[in-house]
Amino acid sequence: LTNIFESFLPQLLAYPNPVDPLNGDAAALYLHKPEDYKKKVREYVQRFATADMAESLSAANDGHSLSNNKTNDLNNSNQTNKNESDDEILSDFSEDEAADMDLE
């Protein structure tokens, strides 16, 4: 596991491969609208990569705090609304974005 976290993941994050994506919408945004992609990444980092988020997820996983679970429920509700608007942005791409890509 140490090898994965110390070498594989940093390389994957530093050099994404949009031709063979796990998330097709993110890859399409990366390829066709790089500035929008960078903006979305910044938003996600600010939203999810925080100490508060890590603590609330840790507490929810441990089942220690009912109030944290209520907060997470509220955050999840708000996140659903934000994701719906994110989907509208990504819907600018056709469903056949990969037609000209060599996927073999």
Cα(102)–Cα(68) distance, integer angstroms: 46
pLDDT digits 0-9 by tens, 7-46: 888 888 888 889 988 899 999 999 999 999 999 999 999 9
**Domain ranges for the chain:** 18-50+76-90
Q: Given a cut of 80, is residue 84 above it in pLDDT?
A: no
DSSP per-residue letters across 4-62: IIIIIHHHHHHS--TTS-SSHHHHHHHHH-HHHHHHHHHHHHHHHSSHHHHHHHHHHHH
pTM here?
A: 0.47
In the prediction, which pLDDT does 102 show? 53
Q: Given a cut of 60, is residue 104 above it in pLDDT?
A: no
